[in-house]
Structure 1
Amino acid sequence: MFNEKWTGVSDMNGTKQYFAQKSVWAGLLAVVAIVALLGWAFVGSTVNPVPKRIPVALVAADKGADVPGKGRMNIGDVLKQKLTTEMTPTGEKSPFEWTVLDDEQAAAEGLDRQTFYAVVVLPETLSADFVALLSPQPKPAEVRVLVNQGKSGVAATMVTQAVGKMLEGANAALREQALGQLQQMKGDAVSIAQAKALAAPLAVTFQTVHPILPNTANGNAPVVLTQLAWISALAATVLLFVAAGKAGAGASGGWGIAASQLIAGLAYAVVASAAILAVVGGLFGLDVPDVTETGLFLTLAVYSFFLLQSAIVNWIGLKGMPVLVLLFFFGLPILNLPPEFLPDAARDWLYSWIPFRFSAEGLRDLFYFRQGLNVGGPASVLGWIAAAGAVVLLASGAKRTKRAPEPSASVDAVR
C-alpha cells in the first residue's frame, strides 16, 4: 500500500512538473502562429482573388462611315469609350488596364511577348458594316477578341467572360440606335433579314492565341516543373551539405570542399532535370514541346535553386531549412494565379522577388509560346541568382578553413 501511495504521489508530482514547464504553454501560441502563418500562405493569397489592372489592348482601326441624312459616324469611337471607361455599368471599378493601339501588328507583338492577356480588334470597316444594317442586304459588324490563353488559363477565362458581357451591353445599345434610324427612314417596316441582323448588330468572335495544348496539366506544367525543380534542389542541398560536413571534419580544405559542392551541384542539377522530364513525360504523359530546350532551362533552374539554398545552409547550417521550406509553401499557391489576381501585399512583397516566378515564366514561354521571345529575361535572372549563390557558397569555405584545427597545434599535442 505504501508503494502504491508513493507511486501515486510521484505521478502527481510528474504531472505538475510537466505542466509547469513554460514550453508546454508557449507551444499553444506556437501552434496558433504556425496555423496563422501557413493559413496565410495557402489561403490568404487565393481565397478571394480580385483581378486588378489586367493589361488588355484595343485596336481602334475603325475609319468611320457616312449615314444618309445623318452625317458621319464612328462606331469604333463609341465602343472605345464604352470599353475603356474606368467604371463598369454596375458602378464597379473596371478590372482592365487598356492600351489603345492603331494597328493589329503591334497587338500581335504584344500577345507574343506576353504583354497583354487579350486584344479587342475594331476593324477599319466597323462603321461601314454597321451602316449596312440599314440596307436591304444587312450583315452584322464584326468585332474580334484575341485571347492570350498561354499567358494564363485562369485570366483567359475571366477576360473572355468580362469582355463578352461588355460587348453584349454595347450590342444592346447599338441595336436600339439602329432600330431608331430604321424607323425614321422607313417607318415601322423592318425586313426579316434586317430583323435577324439587328438581333446582334455586333458579331463578336473569340480567337485563342498561344493555346494551352492537351497533356500539359491544364496549363500548369510550368508550375509543376518548377515545384519539382525546387524540391530536387532542396534534396541535393541537404545531401551535399552533409557530405561536405563529413569531408571537412578535422580538415583544412574549406575552399576545396565548397568548390566541390559547387561542381557536384551541377551534376545533381543535370541528373535531376533529366529525371524530372523522364518521369513527367515518359511516365505520366506530360507533353514537353522541346525536350532539349526545356531540359537546359530546367537544369539552370535547379542549379540556381541549389546554389541559393546551399549559400544559406552553408552559412547557418541546417537551421536554414525551415526558411527554405516556408518559402516553398508561400510560393506554391501564388504561382497558380496571375499576379493581377493577387492581393497587393502578396504581389509586391512576395511575387515580385520569389525565385519560383522566374522559372515558371521561362517554362511558360517554352511550353505555350515557343518563339524564344520571353525566355531570356527569366533565364538571366536565374543566372544572376546562381552567380550570387556561387559566390556566397565559395565564401563559406573561408569559414570552414578558419574553424579547422591548426596542423602545428596537433603535432604539439602529440609531443
Structure 2
Amino acid sequence: MSILRNKWVVLSPIIVAVVVFIFSLVLIPTVHPTPQQLPVAFVNEDEGVQWSNQPPINMGKTIEQAIQNMMKSNSAGKDQPPIEWIQVDSEKKAKKGMDRQDYYGALMIPKDFSKKVASLQTPNPSSPKVKIVVNQGMNAAASAIVQQILNQAADHINANVRQQLLQAMAKKGGMMTAEQAALLASPVGKEIAIVHPVGTHSANGNAPVSFVQPIWMASLAAAVLLYLAIDQRAFTHWREKLAAQVTKTVVGLLLALIAGFGLIGMADAIGFHIPSFLDMALFVSLVFFSFFAIESAVFSWVGLKGIPIFILLLFFGAPLLSMAPESMTSFYRDWVYSWLPQRFMVEGLRELFFFDPALQWNEPVSVLCWLALAGVVLVIVSAFKKGFVQESDESGKLTRS
C-alpha cells in the first residue's frame, strides 16, 4: 500500500521511540530521591551541674561530642549522611536561621538539661527534655524526614541517659523511689515544635508548585499569540517594528496583571489559604511577565521554533520543583534545577506562603526582575534585526533590508 511508503509513516516508530525516551528522562529524579546533608542546627545551651564531692556533669557536651564523632565518621564514608549537623550558639540564632530558610530543623539542649538529669538520682527527680524544632515551610517532605531523624536522635539520647542512670543506681545498691522508677522507662522527654507550618489549605505544602503550570502555560500562550499578531506583520520601517515591540511589551504587562490577580483570586475562591492577596498577586504578575519576556525574546529571534524549548523546560523542571535540592542528584541540582526559571517562582511563593507574607526585594524577586529586563531588551533589539524590517523601494514594492 502506498500509505505505508509515506515517509512520516516510516518515521513514526522512530519518532515515537525518541519522544518516549526523552520524556522518560523526566522520571529519573523521582525514582529514588534520597536526602543528603539536609542542614539541621544543633544548639547546646546546657550549663552543666556541679554536685558536692562529685566531678562536674555536662550531658550537653557529651551529646555534642557524640554528634561531632558522628559527623567525622560520616565524612570518612562514601555515602553522604541524610542530615548535616550545623552547630549554632543559641536558640535565638537557630530560629533566625530557620526564618532565613538556612535549616530544615534543629535539635536543642536546654540550659538545665544536666541539672535535671542529675536530679533523676535524687528522691525528687525532674524529667529533662530536648527540644525538636521542624521548619516545615522549607519543604514538607524533607521536614518530615528531618523530624523522623531528630526523633531517632532524641531516642538515642534517651537510651544513653537511661543506661547511665542504671549504672549509677547499681553502684548505690539499686534502690530507687517509685517516681524514679516511673521516669527510668523514658528519662528524657521530647518537646516538638513546628515553625512556619504549611497549614491545611496549601495542597500539603505544595501550593507554590501548583501555581507554576498555569502561569507558565498562560505566559507561553500569550507570547505565541502576540508573536503571531505583531511579529508576523510586514513593516515598512524599523521604527514601526520598534513601536510594535514596545506595544507588545506594554500588552504583556497588562496581561501579567490580569494573570497574577486572576490566578490568586481563583486560588482564594477555591479554598487556598492566601496570607496576603495583594503581595502574592503582584509577585505572580512579576513571574508571568518574566516568563513572557524571555519567551517573547526567543520567539523574536528564532520564531515559533523555540516553543519546544519551553515545553521541555516545563516537563523536565516540574518533577524537581517539589523536591528539596538536597534530595536531588548532583547533576540535576547543579545543572538543571539551579537555573530553572520556575524555581524562582516556587521559592518566592514559598516565602510568601509560609515565611513572610510581605513582598520584598529578595533573591527570587531580583532574579525574576533581571530575567524580565533581559527579555525586554532582547525583544526591543530584535526590531533592528536584518530580514524582519521591510522598506519601500522607488517602485513602491516592499523589500527586505
TM range (shorter): over 0.9
TM-score, with structure 2 as normaliser: 0.92
Match of 2:136 among 149, 169, 174: 149
Match status 1:181 vs 2:141: no
1:238-387 equivalences under 5 Å are 238-246=224-232, 248-252=233-237, 253-282=240-269, 284-370=270-356, 372=358, 376-387=362-373
Inter-partner Cα distance in structure 2 for 1:392 and 1:75: 62
Q: Which residue of 1 aligns with 2:392?
A: 407
Residues 119 and 145 of structure 1 are in contact (CA less than 8 Å); yes or no, is this contact kept in structure 2?
A: yes
**Offset at 1:93?**
4.5
How much is the aligned-residue C-alpha RMSD, in angstroms?
A: 2.0
Unaligned runs of 5+ in 1: 1-10
Residues 366 and 375 of structure 1 are in contact (CA less than 8 Å); yes or no, is this contact kept in structure 2?
A: no
1:63-212 equivalences under 5 Å are 63-67=47-51, 69-84=53-68, 85-86=70-71, 87=73, 93-185=80-172, 187-212=173-198
Cα deviation 1:54-103 (Å, max 9, x = unaligned): 01101111121225554112111222233341357xx9752111211121
Kindly tell me the number of residue pairs found equivalent between the two proteins: 391
Aligned to 1:65, what secondary structure does the other structure show?
coil
Match status 1:50 vs 2:34: yes
Aligned to 1:97, what secondary structure does the other structure show?
strand
Match of 1:17 among 5, 10, 15: 5
Residues 147 and 160 of structure 1 are in contact (CA less than 8 Å); yes or no, is this contact kept in structure 2?
A: yes
Residues 121 and 169 of structure 2 are in contact (CA less than 8 Å); yes or no, is this contact kept in structure 1?
A: yes
Q: Which residue of 1 aligns with 2:13?
A: 28
Inter-partner Cα distance in structure 2 for 1:36 and 1:326: 13
C-alpha change, 1:30 and 1:281, in structure 2 (3 Å) is same
Inter-partner Cα distance in structure 2 for 1:406 and 1:374: 47
AA matched with 1:108: K
AA matched with 1:359: M
C-alpha change, 1:62 and 1:372, in structure 2 (3 Å) is farther
AA matched with 2:139: S
Residues 33 and 328 of structure 2 are in contact (CA less than 8 Å); yes or no, is this contact kept in structure 1?
A: yes
Residues 57 and 99 of structure 1 are in contact (CA less than 8 Å); yes or no, is this contact kept in structure 2?
A: yes
Unaligned runs of 5+ in 2: none
AA matched with 1:79: I
Cα deviation 1:308-348 (Å, max 9, x = unaligned): 11111111111100110110111111111111111111111
* Identity across matched positions, percent: 34
After TM superposition, what 4+ stretches of structure 1 lie above 6 angstroms from structure 2? none
Inter-partner Cα distance in structure 1 for 2:162 and 2:326: 34
Match of 1:62 among 26, 37, 46: 46
C-alpha change, 1:337 and 1:142, in structure 2 (3 Å) is same
1:390-405 equivalences under 5 Å are 390-399=376-385, 402-405=387-390
